[in-house]
Amino acid sequence: MMAFMAICTAAMLPPQAIKIGLLKYNGGGDWYANPTALPNLIAFCNKEMGMNIDPEPVTVEVGSPDIFNLPLLHMTGHGNVVFSTEEAENLRLYLEAGGFLHIDDNYGMDPYVRTAIAEVFPDNAFVEVPFSHPIYDQQYQFPRGVPKIHEHDGKPAQAFGIFIEERLAVFYTYETDLGDGWEDTEVHNDTPQNRRKSLQMGANLLRFALVQ
């Protein structure tokens, strides 16, 4: 009888919320940029898509074993990124085990990201993610790829990826500033249309990471 009651009680408990991570790295870059971005994206996904994601992202260091408890890591900033040999190895093992890393260049991060990821995957370079990839066709459709949210150098928005045996493991958004579009409206004064597009693209990549 006690065992039956325990089973019934467990069945009535709500499913545990999924946690996602904000990646803290060394090198002096502002990994903490866009503080309202992830909470707003999570709130959007929970409301619009019925997802069950913990409202507060977990800050986690690159070399920590805690990254293996998180299905998705988000990384952003404007400047330098440095991974030690141990950190690069830890991140590689996480990604090879099925983890997913989203890198969002907040402007000025590109050369440092490319150098750091080359430490993680010296034989696996970034390639542009084709518009036909499923990440653009989840809850929302983006037939022309990642949307342009902010203008910096007059370049088109692009997304690059690291693929592990055909699985997209790293999704790097460049010249778009998705995270700025996720922030509170008054921070960057993005148009409602651009802000919604950025949240929808973020929801797509989050859903892709969780169901792949």
Render pLDDT for 7-44 as a digit per residue (tens, 0 to 9): 333 344 457 899 999 999 999 999 999 999 999 999 99
- Residue pLDDT, tens place only, 63-106: 999 999 999 999 999 999 999 999 999 999 999 999 999 999 99
Position 190 scores a pLDDT of 83
Directed axis angle between helix 37-49 and helix 192-211, to 10°? 80
Count of Cβ atoms closer than 10 Å to residue 139 Cβ: 14
Calculate mean pLDDT across residues 172-188.
Answer: 92
Position 152 scores a pLDDT of 75
* DSSP string across 131-185: TTSGGGBSSSB-TT-SPP-S-SSSPPPEEEEEEETTEEEEEEEESS-HHHHHS-H
> For residue 151, what pLDDT band results from cuts at 50, 70 and 90?
confident
Position 150 scores a pLDDT of 82
Q: Which of 183, 127, 198 is nearest to 158 (CA)?
A: 127
Which residue is associated with the tokens 């040999």?
A: 85
The DSSP bridge partners found for residue 170 are 101, 162
- Residue pLDDT, tens place only, 101-128: 999 999 999 999 999 999 999 999 999 9
CATH 1.10.600.10 fits 17-211, yes or no: no
Position 2 scores a pLDDT of 33
Position 186 scores a pLDDT of 84
Is the predicted pLDDT of residue 157 greater than 50, yes or no?
yes
- Residue 183 near residue 37 (C-beta atoms within 8 A): yes
Q: Which of 212, 48, 201, 182 is nearest to 131 (CA)?
A: 201
Q: Could you tell me where the DSSP H helices lie in the chain?
A: 2-12, 37-49, 85-96, 110-120, 178-182, 185-188, 192-211
Q: Which of 91, 82, 83, 75 is nearest to 33 (CA)?
A: 75
Question: In this predicted structure, which of 11-20, 50-59, 119-128, 151-160 has the lowest mean pLDDT?
Answer: 11-20
